[in-house]
Structure 1
Amino acid sequence: MKVYELKVNHSNTTTLIMKNRDALSSHPIRSDFKEQNLARDWQPAEMQTYKRRKFNEFPYLIPEKPIVSEKVMQILKPHTPTEVEFLPLLHNEFELYMMNVTNILDCVDWQRSEAQWLYEKYFMRFDKLVFDFAKIPKNTYLFKTEELATTKVFVTELFRELIEDYQLPGLDFSVVYDSEFTYTEAEQRMDQGQAVGSGKWRMQFDEEGEFWLGELTLELKYRWGRPVYIPPILLGYSWHEVEKCEIDSFNW
């Protein structure tokens, strides 16, 4: 599984600014977008083009908040009824919507993440952000974390696949958070009772604490054994968590 930071490709996407910015001082658009619901009190705010560029499906707003075209809204809305409010905006050329992502997940892996705190109490920022992918529901498209709810939106592979299926340009998927990990981390997860996999290989401990290595055969069945040593090639593989298998017999 992969998670991406929702980022606009500034170099080829139209940039917007708020029209009559001072008149919008008390408008919800000036809020931190951390509240769960804004639609009830929302009145369409007027945008204007600052720099016109090639793509207009995901315009970039100064200050940065996620905006999509009506086309993108129509594509995303059926998939995100509990994750996003689409708030209408005004523009003299485009039909636009601001996205208020209300799906806030407690999915930070604090054991592997590195954060800075003020007085060991107040969160400041992440130096290294790692997600606990088990806490991200499989049907998730967009979400925020409590710690970064005012500044960042994250999207899943489902979101990226949808965008690519409809060939919607203008996003930058270069900031990736991957659920894969090294062999050393795989050993740590097995010690915690998890099973791990990489390609045709699986590793896990049984109920007696015995280590098992499985190889997927051409018959699509795992051939399990208890090796004397780990094949060195496996040490360089990237691993991910998998469901534990029932090991029927020793068959190496």
Structure 2
Amino acid sequence: MKIWRLSTDRSVMSITTCSKNPELEKTTLKTSDSDFKGMPMLHRWESGLVLTRKKGRTKDIAHFDGLTVGFGSKTVQIVEPLLRGLVEFLPVQNNDAELCLVNTINVINALDLEKSDYSTFEGRLTYINEYAFKTDINYSNHPIFKISQDPGSFSLVTDEFRNLILSSKLKGFEFVELWDSESSEQMQNELEQKHRALIDFVDSLPGKRFNWDEAVKLIDSGEAVANGKWKLQINDKGNFILGQLEPNGEYFWIQPTYIPPTLLEKKWHIVEKSNE
């Protein structure tokens, strides 16, 4: 059995609540990505307008600000029997598609802290570098869930959910493998070696190295900077984002609320900007 991070590919539509039009701002959804922390919201939900930032080629799934996704009406109809009681489908208004934001309320203590590789700050889990999940949980009851240590993060899904999406030929879904219960130690070592090779390649790139203050100035001027598995840049909305290099060569991006102190001590070099 595998556990996957639910994500979207680059073909999907992108929706947002941000508007530079003051009049339009009055009707936009008042809920943001930071509100999705595994708690029920349907009982107090007030639908509002979400704006299309990019139309995309599919309406089966949409990327909302941050780590939240929206499902199209076709997708909701297909997955609702499997996900009943585990998520809330929160309807929103959009001129291009019929969408519901997905609020995963199934939060379980599934992360194996002894076998996972993670970072903390002031006792709070900040980043998970390598995932390991508890094996005494019946995951057939949890086709979608969030981990109790970080319920504000992305939704996780099992093979059952992924297979349903693939067999239904829904478009725009991306599943990033986080853990394989049947993976051998050799396979895990090979994955770690591949990841280390990618990090070493980034660190081997030529160019001047900059301290934190210098790096921030470069980022503000439109550059991207990197150190090892970490990458920093400004996204197309003008927000400061932090990326973590994954074994597949892609970066997983977040908009950090604070910067871990360890990053302030690193030396950074200019690299090509990524498409988040």
Q: TM-score range by the shorter chain?
A: 0.5 to 0.7
The alpha carbon displacement at 1:92 in A equals 1.4
Structure 2 equivalent of residue 61 of structure 1: 64
**SS across alignment from 2:136:** helix
When Rg is computed on C-alpha atoms for both structures, the one with the higher figure is: 1
Shift of 1:129: 1.5
Distance 1:173 1:38 in 2: 26
The amino acid of 1:14's aligned partner reads M
Q: Are the structure 2 counterparts of residues 136 and 34 from structure 1 closer, same or farther at C-alpha, using a change threshold of 3 Å?
A: farther
CA-based RMSD of the aligned residues comes to 2.4
Query: How many equivalent residue pairs?
Result: 183
User: Which residue of the partner structure matches residue 113 of structure 1?
Assistant: 116
1:140–1:85 CA distance, 2 compared to 1 (3 A): same
Q: How far apart are 1:54 and its partner, in Å?
A: 1.2
In 1, distance between residues paired with 2:110 and 2:53? 37
Note if contact 1:24-1:30 (Cα within 8 Å) is conserved in structure 2: no
CA distance in 2: counterparts of 1:160 and 1:33, whole angstroms: 22
**Matched-pair identity in %:** 23
Please say if 1:135 is aligned against 2:137: yes
Q: Deviations over 1:199-222 (max 9, x none)?
A: xxxxxxxxxxxxxxxxxxxxxxxx
Matched residues in 2 for 1:24 and 1:108: separation? 39
Separation in structure 1 between the aligned mates of residue 143 and residue 38 of structure 2, nearest angstrom: 19
Q: Indicate the residue corresponding to 2:77 in structure 1.
A: 74
TM-score by length of 1: 0.66
Give the superposition deviation at 1:88: 0.4
Cα separation, 2, equivalents of 1:117 and 1:19:
31
Greater share of helix: 2
Give the partner amino acid of 2:129: D
* 3-state SS, counterpart of residue 176 of structure 2: coil
**Amino acid across the alignment from 2:4:** Y
Residue of 103, 106, 111 corresponding to 1:103: 106
CA distance in 1 between partners of 2:28 and 2:132 (Å): 36
Q: 1:133 to 1:53 in 2, by over 3 A?
A: same
Distance in 2 between residues matched to 1:95 and 1:107, nearest whole Å? 33
Q: Give the aligned partner of residue 45 of structure 1.
A: 48
Gap runs ≥5 in structure 2: 188-276
Change (3 A) 1:106 1:136: farther
Name the structure 2 match of 1:179. 181
Question: Equivalent residue of 1:138, what SS?
Answer: helix
Distance 1:180 1:35, change over 3 A: closer
Is 2:125–2:150's contact at 8 Å kept on the other side of the alignment? no
Is 1:124–2:126 an aligned residue pair? yes
Segments of structure 1 that go 5 or more residues without pairing to the other structure are 186-252
